Amino acid sequence: MTILHLALAADWDAAVRAGEYRVSTLGRTLEQEGFIHASAGPAQLRGVAERFYAGVADPLVVLTIDEALLDCDVRFEVPPGADEAFPHIYGPLPARAVTSVAPFSL
């Protein structure tokens, strides 16, 4: 299964150099949040972008992640205040698990 993650392009560039990505969401790390937020498809991703990234001026990218290439659990959970489950990645995202990277804009 593939899942999606919205990232600052600069954060993804740093992750490629490091070999893994450790940003949970805008302004929060994996260590702070406990997992990396992701989306199950384009509609979920668009909702996340509109809700949390509307004021971001920095370039954004969409990471397409092959769940089979992750070395950690992915749990579909319903966040507080939401009515649908989102995939949460419970560990660092290896750069090799990202099968494509595309620019994103609202």
Q: Where are the domains of the chain?
A: 2-104
Task: Check residue 96 and give its pLDDT.
Answer: 97
Q: Sorting pLDDT into bands at 50, 70 and 90, what band is 82?
A: confident
Q: Is 90 exceeded by the pLDDT of residue 65? A: yes
| CATH architecture of structural domain 2-104 | Alpha-Beta Barrel (3.20)
Average pLDDT across the chain, whole number? 96
- Cα–Cα distance measured from residue 1 to residue 50, given in angstroms and rounded to the nearest whole number: 24
Cβ 33 vs Cβ 45: under 8 Å:
no
- pTM for the model: 0.95
What mean pLDDT comes out for the span 30-55? 95
Q: Determine phi and psi for 3, rounding to 5 degrees.
A: -130, 165
Q: Sorting pLDDT into bands at 50, 70 and 90, what band is 1?
A: confident
